[in-house]
């Protein structure tokens, strides 16, 4: 296909003018004039950039018609500017074919909308291309799909975080840990039984509890054990699309990947009165949610609607992650003592004899606070070690830091 179709420079402006329901029709009329005899196929989603990033095609932005481009910053983790197009024409090389893909976004009274048109020499080529883009970009592969800024992204970092989270590092009564994991494993293994009973093969759970007591850690380790695709909703904010539209995208993608786990971390911050009934409607779909495990976390269950919290068919189970008691805090310190002896070179500096004393003195600490106790003591120990030739008493440091953190906690709360 000849990529030099002469679009008028004001092409995007002219089709967007009026911005009414006939906009896609106006675009198609123009495209038929520009590509006589070629195939033109439209679709609502096409993750061309992701497909190109996978090395399955190459693409370049056509300078004509002039694209509408804005940049966004990738944040401190991805400290660079990334281009984001709202109107653009791509020249695409795929296998031995040359094609063009037009992407147009516009605002409707119901929110933002984006549509794609693929122009190829033959309908069979356009169809095969579209199908391959959908299939390949839908496969999470060795990554976790993360929903933010209005779209799904593959995250290798999240995948690595999940795969470095150990269930064995969590202090949890063994029978509780086993019953939670077995619940999901049994569910995944029982599709036929659910079908035979005419019961919807779907599962929902909420993990509740005060901050820093293992909800996220447990969830990551669970995802690793379940070995099905994982989709993680980080935010439902966008200045173009309404959160209902975003939720629709979230559930659509999850349904394409079933069986899978769909995670809403901090559900109370994601769902509010504006998207609540849409969310309930999505959770309730019998057929549509076949094979879907939906897991939410919250430390503010009181802010979540009872229609979400208290209807078993939506979130069937509630798992509590409370503050640890003194025996759990002692167990946590034991685990760290072993870790510091084997990995941290602390052997002679802490025999662990004051573990139960520290466990008593840390009443009210979350596991995250217990971890802070270890880390802040370790920082002081490393500093003192580098200053003195004399060995420091790490056990004493822990006791001192316990007092500091207790004071900090009481002055804050």
276 vs 22: CA distance, rounded Å: 31
Rounded to 10°, the helix 367-387/394-412 angle is: 130
Residue with token string 């944040």: 75
Identify what 371 binds: ligand ATP, Mg ion, none; CB under 5 to 8 Å per kind: ligand ATP
- Smallest distance, ligand ATP to C-beta of residue 377, A: 16
Report 106-165 residues binding Mg ion (CB under 5 A): none
**Residue with nearest beta carbon to ligand ATP:** 214
CB of 222 to ligand ATP, least distance (A): 11
Minimum Å gap between C-beta 213 and ligand ATP is 5
Is the Cβ of residue 115 or residue 215 nearer to Mg ion in the bound state? 215
Q: Which is nearer to ligand ATP, 214 or 229 (CB)?
A: 214
Asked if 214 and 321 touch (Cβ cutoff 8 Å), the reply is yes
Cβ pair 292, 259 in contact under 8 A = yes
Is the distance from CB of 214 to CB of 367 less than 8 angstroms? yes
Nearer to ligand ATP by Cβ, of 167 and 188: the residue is 167
The least CB distance from residue 78 to ligand ATP, in Å, is 22
171 binds, among Mg ion, ligand ATP, none (CB under 5 to 8 A by kind): ligand ATP
For ligand ATP, the closer CB: 181 or 368: 368
Structure tokens at 341: 């002896």
> What residue ranges bind ligand ATP (CB under 6 A)?
169-172, 209, 211-217, 299, 321, 332, 367-368, 371
Min dist CB 372 to ligand ATP, Å, is 9
Site string for Mg ion, 343-372 (x = CB under 5 A): ------------------------------
Please say whether the beta carbons of 327 and 334 come within 8 A: no
Residue 311: φ, ψ to 5°: -110, 110
CA 23, CA 14: separation in Å to the nearest integer? 10
Does 406 engage in binding with Mg ion (CB under 5 A)? Answer: no
Angstrom distance (rounded) from CA 98 to CA 62 = 13
Whether a cis peptide bond, with omega within 30° of 0, leads into 305 is no
Q: Which stretch binds Mg ion (CB under 5 A): 11-19, 45-53, 209-217, 394-402?
A: 209-217
> Nearer Cβ to ligand ATP, position 204 or 209?
209
From ligand ATP, Mg ion, none, which one binds at residue 154 (CB under 5 to 8 Å depending on kind)? none
Nearest to ligand ATP of 9, 325 (CB atom): 325
Nearest in space to 224 (alpha carbons), one of 188, 261, 255: 261
| 216 makes contact with Mg ion (CB under 5 A) | yes
> What single string gives the DSSP state of each residue in 22-77?
THHHHHHHHHHHHSTTSEEEEES---HHHHHHTTS-EEEE-SSSPPEEEEEEETTT
Instruction: Let me know: does 249 contact 215? Beta carbons within 8 Å.
Output: no
Interface contacts to Mg ion, rule CB under 5 A: 215-216
């Amino acid at each position: 296909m000849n990529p030099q179709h002469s679009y008028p420079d004001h092409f995007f402006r002219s089709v967007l003018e009026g911005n009414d329901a006939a906009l896609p029709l106006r675009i198609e009329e123009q495209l038929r004039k520009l590509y006589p005899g070629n195939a033109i196929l439209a679709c609502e989603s096409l993750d061309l950039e992701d497909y190109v990033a996978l090395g399955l095609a190459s693409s370049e932005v056509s300078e004509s018609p002039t694209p509408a481009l804005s940049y966004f910053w990738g944040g401190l983790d991805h400290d660079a500017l990334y281009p984001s197009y709202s109107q653009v024409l791509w020249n695409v090389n795929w296998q031995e074919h040359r094609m063009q893909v037009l992407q147009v976004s516009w605002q409707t009274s119901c929110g933002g909308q984006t549509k794609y048109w693929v122009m190829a020499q033959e309908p069979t080529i356009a169809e095969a291309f579209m199908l391959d883009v959908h299939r390949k970009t839908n496969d999470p592969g060795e990554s976790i799909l993360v929903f933010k800024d209005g779209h799904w992204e593959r995250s290798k970092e999240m995948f690595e975080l999940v795969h470095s989270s150990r269930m064995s590092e969590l202090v949890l009564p063994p029978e509780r840990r086993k019953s939670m994991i077995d619940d999901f494993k049994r569910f995944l293994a029982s599709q036929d039984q659910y079908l035979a009973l005419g019961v919807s093969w779907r599962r929902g759970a909420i993990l509740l509890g005060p901050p820093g007591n293992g909800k996220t850690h447990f969830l990551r380790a669970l995802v690793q054990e379940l070995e099905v695709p994982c989709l993680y909703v980080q935010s439902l904010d966008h200045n173009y699309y309404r959160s209902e539209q975003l939720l629709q995208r979230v559930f659509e993608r999850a349904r394409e990947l079933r069986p899978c786990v769909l995670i809403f971390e901090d559900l109370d911050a994601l769902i509010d009165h504006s998207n609540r009934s849409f969310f309930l409607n999505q959770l309730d779909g019998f057929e549509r949610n076949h094979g879907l495990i939906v897991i939410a976390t919250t430390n503010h269950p009181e802010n979540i609607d009872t229609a979400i919290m208290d209807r078993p068919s939506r979130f069937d189970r509630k798992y509590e992650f409370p503050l640890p008691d003194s025996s759990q805090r002692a167990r946590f310190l034991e685990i760290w003592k072993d870790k510091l002896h084997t990995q941290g070179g602390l052997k002679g500096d802490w025999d662990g004899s004051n573990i139960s004393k520290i466990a008593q003195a840390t009443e009210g600490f979350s596991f995250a606070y217990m971890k802070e106790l270890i880390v802040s003591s370790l920082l002081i120990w490393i500093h003192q070690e580098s200053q003195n030739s004399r060995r420091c008493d790490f056990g004493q440091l822990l006791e001192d830091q316990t007092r500091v953190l207790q004071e900090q906690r009481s002055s804050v709360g």
